[in-house]
Copies of this chain bind each other. A is one copy, B any other.
Amino acid sequence: MMLKRLAISIAASAAFCTAALADPLPSWEDGDIKARIVAFVDDVTDPASQDYVPPEARIAVFDNDGTLWGEQPVYFQLIFAFDEVARRAGDDPSILTSDTLKAAAAGDYQAALAGGNTALAEIVAASHAGLSVEAFQNNVRAWLDTARHPGTGLRYDHMTYQPMTELLRYLRDEGFATYIVSGGGVHFLRVFAERAYGIVPEQVIGTSLASSYHVEDGQPVIVKDPQVFFVDDKEGKPVAIDRIIGRRPILAAGNSDGDFQMLEYTTAGHGARLGLLVHHTDATREAAYDREGHVGVLKRGLDEGPGRGWLIVDMAKDWSRIYTEGK
């Protein structure tokens, strides 16, 4: 009896040690970046360290497009918007009241977006507004289930970056709260954030349309309206973090200059802080882009980031795997 108990105890300890020593970031290549991430986490979670941070203040914020999942050839939510205009027009062609919407329904990105932000706002309104949050999220769910990326053939929510999902899990295991702070839509993101990243709805911050409260047949419903309420990008990111979280993060990760202020705000705080930029360098496995283009422009971050101590992740070099599914 005692021997059996001892044996169980030893087995349990061994399992514990194996778990504790297992590599929490298996898809990150061994090297400076991975070592610095782990050193930071060890530092802020060690009660004996002068940089120790109590669990309630271990706030980590992550951009989504280009940081947690792909964003080429265009933001995936924009592909949803175009597909959704086409789908709605299939039910009711009379919604195509402008050349912009006709081009969107035809999948002609260039013509549809020729009108700049005005055209974009029209497409967003025609695809995201005029229905309840619940109905909208059902549409997003149905789209994710059927749509496939033109380049990879994968579901969009399988094009999440495996190394980043490992980082999210690692941080949560170490007592961090992991937030998405994205220029993407908050209702859109919540449809897949929990399944794909383990991020619960109340830890998703994003851009939003105005919404309004109605009671229909005795049932309250929240309806998405066409006007933009808040754009969670650039300066908007630290503003939203302050307004919604109310604590300054100790870790921020992004991939474009839209994340610059979030990293700046985070890493200027007292004590140990970590800023991380995902640099898209892998033309073979994903896409190589930075200083130019219409999506995910990273210029100031490359120029100033290293001097500010931010980690610049070289996807080609630092990641042994890109997507959660597929290659």
Which of A78-86, A111-119, A210-218 forms part of the interface with chain B? A210-218
Which residues 164-198 of A sit at the B interface, judged by CB distance below 8 A?
177, 186-187, 190
Which of A98-106, A237-245, A283-291, A317-325 forms part of the interface with chain B? A237-245
Q: Which residue of B is nearest A218, CB measured?
A: B268
Chain B residues within an 8 Å CB radius of A245:
201-202
In the assembled complex, the Cα of A212 lies from the Cα of B234 at a distance in Å of 11
Is A261 engaged at the interface, CB distance under 8 Å to the other chain?
yes
A238, B264: Cβ atoms closer than 8 Å: no
In the assembled complex, the Cα of A222 lies from the Cα of B202 at a distance in Å of 22
Picked from B202, B208, B222, B246, the residue with its CB within 8 Å of the CB of A204 is B246
In the assembled complex, the Cα of A201 lies from the Cα of B190 at a distance in Å of 21
Interface set of A (CB-CB < 8 Å, partner B): 56, 133, 177, 186-187, 190, 200-202, 204, 208, 211-213, 215, 218-220, 222, 229, 235, 238-239, 242-247, 261, 264-265, 268
Chain B residues within an 8 Å CB radius of A244:
202, 244
Chain B residues within an 8 Å CB radius of A213:
235, 238-239, 261, 265
In the assembled complex, the Cα of A72 lies from the Cα of B235 at a distance in Å of 38
Provide 18 A-B residue pairs closer than 8 Å at the C-beta atoms, listed in order of the A residue.
A177-B202, A186-B246, A201-B245, A201-B247, A202-B202, A202-B244, A202-B246, A202-B247, A204-B246, A208-B243, A211-B239, A213-B235, A213-B238, A218-B268, A220-B261, A220-B268, A222-B239, A222-B265
18 extra A-B contacts, CB within 8 A, seeds A220-B261, A244-B244: A56-B200, A133-B242, A187-B246, A190-B246, A201-B246, A202-B202, A204-B246, A212-B235, A212-B239, A213-B235, A213-B239, A215-B264, A220-B238, A220-B264, A222-B238, A222-B239, A222-B242, A229-B243
Give min CB distance, A194 to chain B, whole Å: 9
A211, B246: Cβ atoms closer than 8 Å: no
In the assembled complex, the Cα of A246 lies from the Cα of B242 at a distance in Å of 18
Give min CB distance, A264 to chain B, whole Å: 5
Chain B residues within an 8 Å CB radius of A261:
213, 220
